[in-house]
């Protein structure tokens, strides 16, 4: 006997393959983006656009990291990277380097300032 047909799992690999249209994250046409790259939309969603790509354009009027976009879309980073690479290639989004962490001042300088303030 054959098994009854199972319902399509929303989080299964078939859905991810469909969303990414079968492309791998690092095909030659695509520029790789990092997990902390900031994405900003440069265009509005158009009719007929993939729902996930349209969602990215709607959620990124201000910079969002790739990790945040992945969390909001409830998709793996690898799938979001494929979507973003296509949008980058079409000029619909811009990828920015993450804001660098502030460089901490020298601890000796901080101690000297603290001692100087204490003497006042």
pLDDT for 33: 81
Q: What is the pTM of this model?
A: 0.62
pLDDT tens, position by position, 66-96: 999 999 988 888 888 888 988 998 899 999 8
Segment 2-28 shows an average pLDDT of: 50
Q: Give start and end residues of each alpha helix (H) in 90-106.
A: none
How many Å apart are CA 94 and CA 15, to the nearest integer? 26
Residue with tokens 């204490």: 118
Secondary structure (3-state) at 109: helix
Given pLDDT bands bounded at 50, 70 and 90, which one contains residue 60?
A: very high
CB 70 within 8 A of CB 80: yes
CB 38 within 8 A of CB 95: yes
pLDDT for 26: 52
pLDDT for 106: 77
CB 74 within 8 A of CB 52: no
């Amino acid at each position: 006997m054959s098994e009854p047909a199972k319902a399509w799992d929303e989080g299964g690999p078939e859905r991810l393959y469909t969303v990414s249209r079968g492309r791998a994250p690092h095909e030659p046409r695509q520029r790789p983006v990092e997990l902390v790259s900031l994405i900003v939309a440069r265009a509005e969603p158009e009719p007929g656009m993939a729902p996930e790509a349209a969602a990215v354009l709607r959620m990124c009027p201000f910079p969002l990291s790739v990790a945040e976009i992945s969390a909001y879309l409830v998709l793996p980073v690898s799938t979001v990277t494929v979507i973003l690479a296509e949008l980058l290639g079409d000029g619909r989004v811009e990828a920015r380097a993450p804001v660098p962490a502030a460089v901490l001042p020298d601890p000796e300088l901080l101690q000297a300032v603290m001692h100087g303030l204490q003497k006042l």
